Each structure stands twice: as structure tokens, then as C-alpha cells.
Amino acid sequence: MILFFEEFVKYGKDHLERVLSFLEVESEIPVITKAGQNPFYLPSSSFGKALLASKKVSSIMKLIPDSPIKGQLRNFALRKSIPKPPISSEAREFLKNLFLEDVNNLQALLQRRLPWKNFQ
């Protein structure tokens, strides 16, 4: 069974039902939310930038379990309100050309078109 993220987002419940059926698991489908799971963060100051670059701070943060305190520490050093910068057309073309052969090989192997907008 091969699933693509783009199709999962579009057909989440149907894809989960297919996976459960494939695994022969009988279960209720959980409610699917479309909340962002990978937000873009930028340092809020030069101090925040230094904290993020510190290997010691990173090691200590890994030891702290996810909690409101950890979230407050992260919010202290980071600012969330900035949207992800768009990729430049030059970078997009470079990456498309870099992966084009691999995408074509995968399409041939799977005998189907892939749901990736840059390779339609």
C-alpha cells in the first residue's frame, strides 16, 4: 500500500479506512483536524537567535517533556506570526530538475501519475 500526503489531506477519512482495511483492523475513524503541524518560526531577537544556535540549550530542551513551560520557553525565543517565505522560482526550478528523473521513475514503477503539482 502506497499513500501520498497530498491525497491523504484531500481524502483523509477514505485513506484511513483503506489503511485500516489493509491492516485488517476494525476501529472507529478519529476526527481529523487540519491544523498546521509544522509551523515556521523565526527568532524574535538576537538573543533568541543565539539560544537557537546553542547546542547546550538544544540538549537541555530535548530533556524537557512537552509542557506549557516548554511552550513558554519556545515562545520567549521565537516569534510565530511570520508566514513561511515563498520559495524562489529559481530554487523551485532547480529542485524540480534535480528530482525529475526520480519522479518519472517512480511514476513508471507505480504505473500512475503522482499528485505533486510541480510534476503534473
Query: Each residue of 15-57: pLDDT tens digit?
Result: 888 888 888 888 887 666 666 666 677 777 787 778 778 888 8
Dihedral sign, Cα of residue 74, residue 76, residue 82, residue 87: negative
Range of the domain at 24: 1-37
Q: Is residue 72 part of a domain?
A: yes
**Claim to verify: residue 94 and residue 53 sit in the same structural domain:** yes
- Out of 33-42, 49-58, 59-68, 84-93, pick the least confident: 33-42
**Claim to verify: residue 46 and residue 60 sit in the same structural domain:** yes
**Claim to verify: residue 43 and residue 96 sit in the same structural domain:** yes
**Claim to verify: residue 28 and residue 54 sit in the same structural domain:** no
Q: Is residue 119 part of a domain?
A: no
* pLDDT reading at 93 higher than 90: yes
Residue of higher predicted confidence among 13 and 100: 100
Q: What is the pLDDT of residue 101?
A: 96
pTM for the model: 0.55
The SS3 assignment for 82 reads: coil
Query: Are the C-beta atoms of 82 and 40 separated by less than 8 Å?
Result: yes
**Claim to verify: residue 46 and residue 31 sit in the same structural domain:** no
Name 91's Cβ contacts closer than 8 Å, sequence gap at least 6: none
Closest CA to 34 of 11, 17, 14: 11
Count structural domains, the chain. 2
